[in-house]
Each structure stands twice: as C-alpha cells, then as structure tokens.
Amino acid sequence: MKLYIVRIGLYSLVALALAGALRFTPPLPEPERKAGEVLVAQAATPTWRLRFDTLGRGESLQSLLRRGGLSDGAAARVLQAATGLDERRIPAGMPVTIKTAATDSIPSEVTLQLSIDRLLHLSRSGEAWTGTDERLPWTTDTIVVSGTIASNLYDAMDSSAKNDLPAGARQQLAWSLADVYEYRVDMSRDLQVGDEFKVVAERSVAPSGAVRIGKVIAATFKLSGSVINAVRFASETVSGQYFDQAGKSMRAMFLRAPLEFRRISSVFGAREHPILGGWRDHKGTDYAASTGTPVRAIGDGVVTRAGWGSGYGNLVEIRHRNGYVTRYGHLSRFAAGVHVGSHVAIGQTVAFVGMTGLATGPHLHFEVLINGRQRDSRIALKQSGGEPVPKSERSAFEQLRDRLLASIDAPTLGVVRLALH
C-alpha cells in the first residue's frame, strides 16, 4: 500500500513538471512554405501575395498565368510585353513568380526565370504591362585542383574538388581536362593508379549559387613518371589552343581515342574502370560503350571501306597519311555521308557503336595499321606534339608558361586568383 502511495506521488510531481514546461515553452513557428502562395509583409509597403510556380511539361505559359489569377486577356497582354520571348523554346520546369498586392485581386508583377542568370520582369500599370530583362552577374575566379588517380579521372576529380565544386562542375572540369589532352592521352586507357594531375581553370558562380566551369588555363599530368604540361596560349600562326612545356602545340595528327571521353564515362562514383575489354596480340582495342555512341575519325583521311566486314560486323576503314589506316568495327550504323571515297576530318562522327558481327555486347573494336601491319594503338598514336610556337611569339609564350606553371606548383591549392595579364 505504501509503495502504491509513493508511486502516486511521483506521477503527480512528473505531471506538474510537464505542465510547467508546456506553460513556459514558446509555440513552435509555422513551417516555411517552399512553394505555392505565401504572404510577404515589408515595412512601409503593402503586404504582397507571392505565388511560386513552375511551367509543366507541354503546358503553355498562358495556362500557368491563368492558374496564377490572370484572365485570358491579361495573360495575353503579359505575353505581348515579353518582347522577344519564344514560348516554343521555354523549357519545362521554368520557375515563375507571380506577385499580387494583398488589397488587389489582379497580379501586379510576373517574373520568369529564363535561365540561371536571366530574369524577365513583367509589371502592370493599370491594364498595361511592360517587360524588363535582368541579367544576373556572375563572379569569376580561378581554381586550382589537384588529384591522384585511384581508379579513373572522374573519381579523382570527384574526391579532389568536392569542397569547391558541385558534382556537375566537377564532371565538366574532368571533360575539359580530357579535351586538353585528347591528342596526347587516352584517358580511358593510359591512366595508371598513382598518376597525378593539376589543373587551373576559370570558375563562375551565379547569385543563385550555380557554378559553371570556364576554360582550362593550364594543366599538368604526371603519367608513369613522365610529365606533360599544357598551357593555354593564343598563337597567331599555329593551330590549337594549348601548348606543352616545350612550346609545341598539343594538337597533333591523330586523336588518341576514337570515342570522346565524355561519351563513354559520364557517371561519378564508379569504382570500376569505365572502359572494359582488353588487348589481343596488340591487334586491336575494345571500347565498351552504349549502342548509338558516336564514333569519331581519329585523323583526316579517306574512307576506303564502309559496309559488312564478316566478324567485324559493320565496319569503317579510313586511310590516313603516311601509311596509316584505322578500322572501326561492330558498328550499329554509319553516319550520313560516310561511304567509300568520302573525305573525313579529324574528330568527325563516322559511325555509331553497336554489336554487329561477332560481338556479345555493345562496344567498338578499334585497330591501327601502319603499312598494312596491325600496331598497338597506344604506341602507334603517340605524338611528340604539333607545330612549335614561332620565334616571334616565343618570348610571350615563355613568360606566360612560367607564370602559370609556377601557379600550379604553388603549395596552396583550392580557390586562388591568378594575375593572367
């Protein structure tokens, strides 16, 4: 009985404590409204109703405006005020804000976010509407990113720049770096565990926080102990935008790979090497890629074969200068205009990946022949570089090269600003 009385006393004390806590605890704020209509009160201004909406797939802008409280006539006047706006080019998901005074039933302002950095403000005065185009400023700086290859370039870039760049920008930087070295390095096959890179690139940030990567300014790659530097330099006489440390153009006679890097390895986080397949007696290379992936000519040449090639399936052969011939097999189809006798340019799409012939899955079989003999493409396509910077531009190039490479070698990495001029 005594134990029962003690329990009753304890329960009463707990109940009193809980009641006191509730009595003096302030009420929870209302949850923030993420979408739909909200009220906004500002000092010395009327209270506004703001409606946040997005354009649905296949929906007309006029339909969205009607949903926001505009009549058909008013919606038509809004669209008339949007000078130069082509409704057919407005993407689904475009954010739209409709602003209405609390004392009015008709919206006073419509804002269309046409792109990350472009707003179109449409304002009402009486029944008339006028439009104002606003460009949001981007802030541009330079970022230095360094990484070590553990599995592939994507993973290395992902882990190295995750604090300074969002995933999409990291992917874009990996693509841009691969593009700079596409005449020297096959990013899908030449990289080894422990290889290192450093890259200086422009980074632009929008007021919304969106990030985009601009041009690569300089880079360095250490491949199995050998270093290849690349510096962006505008020569008046030599083709190509990038030059190595010796002043030779990074642009050479052949690309190192028949598939563009961004077309075959576009997902971050993969732990397996993105290119499958192997070498068979150094006669060819198999690149795994989805059916329909564009296949490009690795150099200028003339098509000598475009048709069925037995075990090769659909096959394209291209004759290049100096006794070089390249073969592209297991194709799903040929590009328009590609036939025997047609001239193709370096980088031109000549066909598309498939699995015709003796193939168990979609991939490209690629071969290089020199004077009729099959060669290891990793060796045959290595180039010492293109044309050199002329003597008249040599001093300017060397000054720029030394300044940029010194910036890359600086011990402090991350976001930095460089004096480029």
The 8-class DSSP code of residue 134 comes to E
Helices (H), 165-308: 167-180, 261-264
Q: Do domains 36-135 and 137-252+383-421 have the same CATH topology?
A: yes
The low-confidence residues of the chain, meaning pLDDT below 50, are 1-34, 265-282, 412-415, 419-421
- Return the C-alpha torsion angle 298, 304, 310, 313, nearest 10: 40
Q: Can you give the residue ranges of every domain in the chain?
A: 36-135, 137-252+383-421, 272-381
Is 2.70.70.10 the CATH number for 272-381?
yes
CA angle 347, 315, 264 (to 5 degrees): 50
- The pLDDT value recorded for residue 3 is 39
Token pair 């804002």: residue:
111
Distant-in-sequence contacts of 170-179, Cβ < 8 A, 24+ apart:
170/268, 171/266, 171/268, 172/212, 172/213, 173/145, 173/199, 173/201, 173/213, 173/216, 174/261, 175/261, 175/262, 176/201, 176/213, 176/215, 176/216, 177/153, 177/216, 177/219, 178/153, 178/261, 178/262, 179/261
- The pLDDT value recorded for residue 86 is 83
CA–CA distance, 135 with 116 (Å, rounded to integer) = 9
Q: Report whether 283 contacts 367 (CB < 8 A).
A: yes
- Residues with Cβ < 8 Å from 391, sequence gap 6 or more? none
Where b means 16+ CB within 10 Å and e means fewer, 5-28 reads eeeeeeeeeeeeeeeeeeeeeeee
Tell me the three state secondary structure of residue 232.
strand
DSSP-derived secondary structure for 21-90 = HHHHSPPPPPPPP-SEEEEE--TTS--EEEEEEEPPTT--HHHHHHHTT--HHHHHHHHHHSTT--GGGP
The type of residue at 343 is H
- Residues with Cβ < 8 Å from 17, sequence gap 6 or more? none
| CATH fold for domain 36-135 | Nuclear Transport Factor 2; Chain: A, (3.10.450)
Q: Report whether 350 contacts 293 (CB < 8 A).
A: no
Tell me the three state secondary structure of residue 274.
coil
DSSP strand E in 105-179: where?
A: 109-115, 118-125, 128-135, 139-148
pTM here is: 0.72
- The pLDDT value recorded for residue 91 is 84
- The pLDDT value recorded for residue 197 is 95
- The pLDDT value recorded for residue 38 is 59
CA–CA distance, 288 with 280 (Å, rounded to integer) = 15
- The pLDDT value recorded for residue 8 is 40
Tell me the three state secondary structure of residue 115.
strand
Q: Report whether 363 contacts 373 (CB < 8 A).
A: no
CA–CA distance, 362 with 265 (Å, rounded to integer) = 15
CA–CA distance, 338 with 306 (Å, rounded to integer) = 7
CA–CA distance, 377 with 68 (Å, rounded to integer) = 61
Q: For the chain, how are helix, strand and coil distributed in percent, rounded to 5?
A: 25, 35, 45
Tell me the pLDDT tens digit for each residue of 205-247. 988 788 999 999 999 999 988 999 999 999 998 888 999 999 9
Q: Report whether 207 contacts 136 (CB < 8 A).
A: yes
CA–CA distance, 146 with 197 (Å, rounded to integer) = 6
The type of residue at 207 is P
| CATH fold for domain 137-252+383-421 | Nuclear Transport Factor 2; Chain: A, (3.10.450)
CA–CA distance, 189 with 249 (Å, rounded to integer) = 22
CA angle 194, 158, 208 (to 5 degrees): 155
| Strand pairing report for 196-205 and 294-296 | unpaired
Nearest to 286 by CA among 277, 275, 273, 296: 277
Tell me the pLDDT tens digit for each residue of 340-362. 999 999 999 999 999 999 888 89
Q: In what order do the strands lie in the sheet with 139-148?
A: 242-243, 226-232, 211-223, 196-205, 139-148, 414-416
